[in-house]
Amino acid sequence: MPTPFRYTEPLPPKSATGTVAEVYAQLALDFGIAEPSTFVVLSCAPELLAPAWALLRESLIAGAGSRTGKELVALGVSLANKCPFCVDAHTVLLHATGDHALAERLARGEAPRSEEHARVLAWGRHTRVPGAALAPYPFPREHAPAYLGTALTFHFINRIASALLTENLLPAGAQRFRAVRSLAGRTLARTVRRPARPGLALALLDHPDAGEAPAWAGGTPVGLAYAALLRAALSGAGLLDTDDQELVEAILQDWDGAHPPLSLSGFPDRRERPGARLALLAALAPYRITDEDVAAWRRPEHTDHCLVHLVAYGAFLAVDRIESSFSAQISQEAV
């Protein structure tokens, strides 16, 4: 039976124990989907799964501000990152908020009728470009931690989904049909519209340190979740040798948000530096990862845990580049 997983074989969620089982329980309660493949694919690395879920929950679900607005940010990010899986997911979730007409306009590739919605969607798109002017915000400033956290969440999740999942949100691409999108959204409506108490996902994290939280998070749980995911994701650097780490990180430092050319010029050859190539693809164009790229890197000692960590490392380097530009802008505004 086909699965949504491209290069890994996650254990059945029903066999989960410990932190993984706790994450699945929170997903079922607060996300409305007990076993979303975007999180199941991370389950072989609980140290990544827990903070990834915590960041999504504390920003998109429990963070301040309109759920419709944050879904528009997530959709804008997903469009900018060319992640059809996540574009479809957020279209369904807009149905769940009750904004059916908005969801279907966006599904048809049309702009929102509301200028406010259009500005929020455009803001989400623009976050892909490090250094792009993001202020003035198209939402109340006091909601910025949740909106910024939502954008960063999906810059990470998009890359995981594009690298490690197929494009179809539902079997056989059923999400292409309006009636299916609407019905799927309606089944999630009660959960999506129910208020969630902030901070509950922090119990899943190992020793969250408030001193590591970024200033833009304003002391909210979003900051602790972000810091935990940063720490876990960047630990994947250990899968590369020093030269490959330096190459990947140097390229990311100069990245301007552009998608790579079709030729992938400037990327390491998969025969010579397969790990560096895979990490860079995860960061800049995860939808371009091929079977050959994964096979060139993978050795008998490389488990699913290793692959997920290498992809997460590359993905988070891009997130970190974007977040650094957020932080720099906010610091300048404060001067």
DSSP string, 66-113: -HHHHHHHHHHHHHHTT-HHHHHHHHHHHHHHT-HHHHHHHHTTPPPS
Which among 92, 76, 164, 88 has a CA at the least distance from the CA of 125? 76
Dig out the tokens for 46 from the structure. Answer: 């609980």
Q: How far apart are CA 277 and CA 283, in angstroms?
A: 10
Q: Are residues 156 and 273 in the same domain?
A: no
Give a yes or no: residue 7 inside a domain.
no
pLDDT digit string, tens, across residues 255-283: 999 999 999 988 999 999 999 999 999 99
What mean pLDDT is predicted for residues 318-330?
93
Q: Tokens 């891009």, residue?
A: 318
What mean pLDDT is predicted for residues 3-14?
95
Residue 312, domain extent = 236-334
Q: Are residues 217 and 276 in the same domain?
A: no
Q: Are residues 173 and 195 in the same domain?
A: yes
Name the pLDDT band for 198 (thresholds 50, 70, 90).
Answer: very high
pLDDT of residue 173: 82
pLDDT of residue 168: 87
What mean pLDDT is predicted for residues 130-154?
96
- What residues are labeled active site? 86
pLDDT of residue 96: 97
CA angle 167, 173, 174 (to 5 degrees): 145
Close Cβ partners of 43 (under 8 Å, ≥ 6 residues apart): 10, 11, 13, 16, 20, 23, 49
Q: Are residues 116 and 259 in the same domain?
A: no
Indicate if the pLDDT at residue 334 is higher than 70: no
Domain boundary among 233, 264, 299: 233
pLDDT digit string, tens, across residues 46-83: 999 999 999 999 999 999 999 999 999 999 999 999 99
Dig out the tokens for 257 from the structure. Answer: 């948000």
pLDDT of residue 318: 98
Higher pLDDT, 284 or 326: 284
Picking from 105-114, 122-131, 205-214, which range would have the lowest pLDDT averaged per residue?
A: 205-214
What mean pLDDT is predicted for residues 15-33?
96
Identify any residues that bridge with 5 across adjacent strands, giving them in sequence order. 165
Q: Are residues 204 and 65 in the same domain?
A: yes
pLDDT of residue 17: 96
Q: Are residues 321 and 268 in the same domain?
A: yes
Higher pLDDT, 231 or 328: 231
Tell me the average pLDDT of the chain. 95
Name the pLDDT band for 226 (thresholds 50, 70, 90).
Answer: very high
Q: How far apart are CA 127 and CA 120, in angstroms?
A: 11
% of the chain with per-residue pLDDT over 90: 89
Q: Tokens 């798109």, residue?
A: 125
CB atoms within 10 A of CB 21: 14
pLDDT of residue 229: 98
Number of separate domains in the chain: 2
- Phi then psi for residue 268, to 5 deg, are -60, 150
Q: What are the CA-CA distances from residue 16 to residues 9, 12, 165, 204, 251 (Å)?
A: 14, 7, 20, 15, 38
Q: Are residues 180 and 130 in the same domain?
A: yes
Q: Are residues 226 and 241 in the same domain?
A: no
Indicate if the pLDDT at residue 155 is higher than 80: yes
pLDDT of residue 67: 98
Q: Are residues 199 and 306 in the same domain?
A: no
Domain boundary among 198, 233, 268: 233
pLDDT of residue 1: 64
* DSSP designation for 240: S
Q: Coil, strand or helix: which one is 6?
A: coil
